[in-house]
Structure 1
Amino acid sequence: MEEQRIVDIFQTYREINQAFFQILSKAASKHNLTALQLVVLRVLHEYPEIRVSELAEKLNLGNSTTSGIVDRMVKADMVERERTKKDRRAMTLTLTDKGKALWRETDATRLNMMRPLLSLSEQDHRELSRLQNEVLRLLKQSKEEA
């Protein structure tokens, strides 16, 4: 019985995650991007002048995989690499004007596609947030103990 509760919780999160990813993919494809490129745009929007290694960490990808994605985005004029002023060997990533415009457009599309979530009442939203934070706390605690 307890095992089934765990499976149910996991399965629900998995289905929700898949639904979010499908919306993200659809929003990205409307702008001729991949879902991963859209996530890169978001991260670079939130963290201008980030290093490739930091981006890789935020994406939960390896440095070489992240570099490949960045290379394609540089060629498409969405992202530019710049040497840092402090350490001339280090490179940071920033959005180009094209990248910034793409971010604004795709973010608006994504938010519009997720608008149905606003039909949740304020109370349901608060309860959902509380429960998600509790699940996260319990999983982090379990990970630390393992």
Structure 2
Amino acid sequence: MDDNNESTKVAKLFQEVMILFKHSMNKVFEEMNPGLTAPQGMVMGILSKEKTMKITELSTKLSLSNSTVSGIIDRLEKQGMVERKRSEEDRRVVNVSIAPSCKGIHHDFHKRLEENIGNVLNKGTQEELNKISVGLDALKKLLGSREE
């Protein structure tokens, strides 16, 4: 098999794995907070790390338009999960942060996601886990070298 066919095979396999992983994440989202979508969960994840961000910054991180992210924020705000606050320095700037009542959600989500992934990986043999680790490490290096 030539390199191009092998690359195509790897790309398809990676896409399939990402779809399965997304379904797994969606399942955890739904179990923890029925109605929370994956994009809403991604916003919550970013905000939990960054604490406070402008919608434009969130849009850049998510590679989504400002209007799309604003709509996600609107729905999260209605659910009481995020808060919008005007900047004291520049009243035109609106910052978004996780509502105080929801601070623990992200930690709980990551814990459940790790448990979910752990349950899947526990089905594999040590040899399979070693192969996965080597493969993911190689993929990480390849992806990292593209950003340089």
Deviations 1:80-120 (A, max 9, x none): 01112322211111101232132233222222111134768
Give the structure 1 partner of residue 139 of structure 2.
Answer: 132
Give the structure 2 partner of residue 144 of structure 1.
Answer: none
Q: What is the TM-score when the length of structure 1 is the normalising length? A: 0.83
Give the structure 2 partner of residue 112 of structure 1.
Answer: 115
Measured in 2, the distance between the counterparts of 1:101 and 1:39 equals 15
1:47 equivalent to 2:53? Answer no
Measured in 2, the distance between the counterparts of 1:49 and 1:114 equals 29
1:35 to 28, 38, 42: 38
AA matched with 1:72: R
Measured in 1, the distance between the counterparts of 2:58 and 2:93 equals 14
**Conserved? CA contact 1:41–1:99, under 8 Å:** no
Query: Against the structure 1 CA distance between its residues 94 and 17, is the aligned structure 2 distance closer, same or farther, given a 3 Å change threshold?
Result: same
Deviates more, 1:94-103 or 1:48-57: 94-103
Give me the identity figure in percent: 24
- What are the ranges of 5 or more consecutive residues in structure 2 without an aligned counterpart? none
Deviates more, 1:115-124 or 1:73-82: 115-124
**Conserved? CA contact 1:48–1:95, under 8 Å:** yes
Secondary structure, in 3 states, of the residue corresponding to 1:4?
helix
The number of aligned residues is: 141
**Conserved? CA contact 1:49–1:94, under 8 Å:** yes
Measured in 2, the distance between the counterparts of 1:138 and 1:108 equals 30
Alignment of 1:83-122 (within 5 A): 83-115=86-118, 116-117=120-121
Query: Against the structure 1 CA distance between its residues 131 and 27, is the aligned structure 2 distance closer, same or farther, given a 3 Å change threshold?
Result: same
Measured in 1, the distance between the counterparts of 2:109 and 2:137 equals 29
